[in-house]
């Protein structure tokens, strides 16, 4: 609304200038003044945004459509920042957080290719630098590569400039080395603030959380495959965003069966 008011004001002032004597210098000064006002208001709004750190979790309570209430609430509260935990009205999306390589990503990619599934892989700067062939394969096989930041810092701990560095350093690296431009990001550890979400949006990114996740990241304490498979199947819901870790031997083992079972329940993956 404020931007609309300012735009209208600018148009009115410029129209007045043109009607009087089309003084180019006056027009320039008017535009400069409007831009100053916009900058001041933007800075004022940023100062009012909360920097309180939140650790996201979808919770265990679900609604009548089997959607975690925490994910629904996140969409309602933070959708204005292009941040979501559910793809409402959409298919089920499989996402993978790539912090480091543990030897299972290739098998996961093989399964996704066999099942004709397009997933999202959120990579860090370290992963991109150490695993270029896997990143190239992700892109070549039609998957989405997302930004998991350059150094995996907690976003709400950073200033606006630091947030920009964390996202854009990796953005530029991937664009340069893989000719690919990322548009989605996932904040490390799922930690965010209203301010960090707003800064992410200002950089042209959408923040993607999740509506399903489970304890799959401890490589020395992998969950039981049979129990995990049932857990993933039972959690299916429309618009679901699954967070899985490719360092998990369990995920690599059960992924194909999970995809088949979810599809058998009538969901699109």
250 and 185 in a common domain = yes
Q: What was the pLDDT predicted at 63?
A: 97
Query: Quick check: is 23 catalytic?
Result: no
Q: Is the pLDDT of residue 89 over 60?
A: yes
Q: What is the pTM of this model?
A: 0.83
Q: What was the pLDDT predicted at 4?
A: 45
Confidence grade of residue 213 (pLDDT, cut at 50, 70, 90): very high
Query: Quick check: is 245 catalytic?
Result: yes
| Chain length of the chain | 269
Q: How far is CA 133 from CA 74, 101, 144, 185, 222, in A?
A: 35, 12, 15, 21, 26
The larger pLDDT score, comparing residue 131 to residue 43, is at 131
Q: Is the pLDDT of residue 42 over 60?
A: no
CATH of the domain at 213: 3.20.20.370
213 and 106 in a common domain = yes
Q: Which of 82, 97, 216, 237 is catalytic?
A: 97
Residues 6+ apart with CB under 8 A from 140: none
Within-domain flag for 85: yes
Q: Which H/E stretch holds residue 121?
A: strand 120-123
Within-domain flag for 269: no
CA torsion, ordered 78, 83, 84, 85, to nearest 10 deg:
-100
Nearest to 210 by CA among 71, 108, 76: 71
What percent of the chain clears pLDDT 70, i.e. is strictly above it? Answer: 83
Domain carrying residue 241: 54-264
Average pLDDT estimate for 71-89: 96
Considering only 81-95, 179-193, 239-253, which range has the smallest mean pLDDT? 81-95
Q: What is the pLDDT of residues 215-233, one digit of tens each?
A: 999 999 999 999 999 999 9
Q: How far is CA 177 from CA 116, 125, 181, 249, in A?
A: 26, 12, 10, 29
Q: Which of 148, 171, 237, 245 is catalytic?
A: 245
């Amino acid at each position: 609304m404020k931007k609309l008011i300012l735009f209208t004001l600018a148009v009115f002032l410029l129209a007045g200038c043109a009607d009087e004597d089309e003084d180019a210098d006056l027009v320039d000064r008017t535009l400069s003044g409007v831009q100053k006002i916009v900058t001041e208001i933007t800075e004022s709004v940023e100062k009012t945004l909360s920097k309180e750190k939140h650790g996201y979790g979808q919770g265990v309570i679900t609604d009548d459509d089997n959607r975690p209430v925490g994910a629904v609430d996140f969409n309602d509260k933070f959708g204005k920042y292009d941040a979501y935990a559910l793809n409402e009205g959409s298919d089920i999306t499989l996402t993978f957080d790539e912090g480091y390589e543990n030897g299972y990503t290739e098998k996961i990619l093989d399964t996704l290719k066999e099942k004709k599934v397009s997933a999202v892989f959120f990579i860090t700067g370290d992963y991109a630098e150490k695993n270029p062939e896997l990143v190239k394969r992700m892109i070549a096989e039609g998957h989405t590569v997302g930004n998991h930041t350059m150094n995996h810092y907690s976003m709400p701990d950073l200033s606006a400039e630091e947030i920009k560095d964390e996202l854009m350093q990796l953005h530029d690296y991937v664009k340069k080395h893989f000719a690919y431009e990322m548009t989605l990001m996932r904040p490390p550890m799922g930690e965010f603030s209203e301010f960090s979400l707003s800064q992410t949006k200002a950089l042209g990114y959408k923040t993607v959380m999740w509506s399903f996740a489970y304890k799959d990241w401890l490589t020395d304490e992998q969950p039981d495959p049979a129990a995990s498979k049932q857990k993933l199947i039972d959690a299916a819901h429309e618009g679901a965003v699954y967070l899985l870790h490719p360092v998990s031997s369990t995920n690599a083992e059960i992924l194909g069966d999970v995809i088949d079972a979810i599809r058998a329940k009538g969901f699109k993956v």
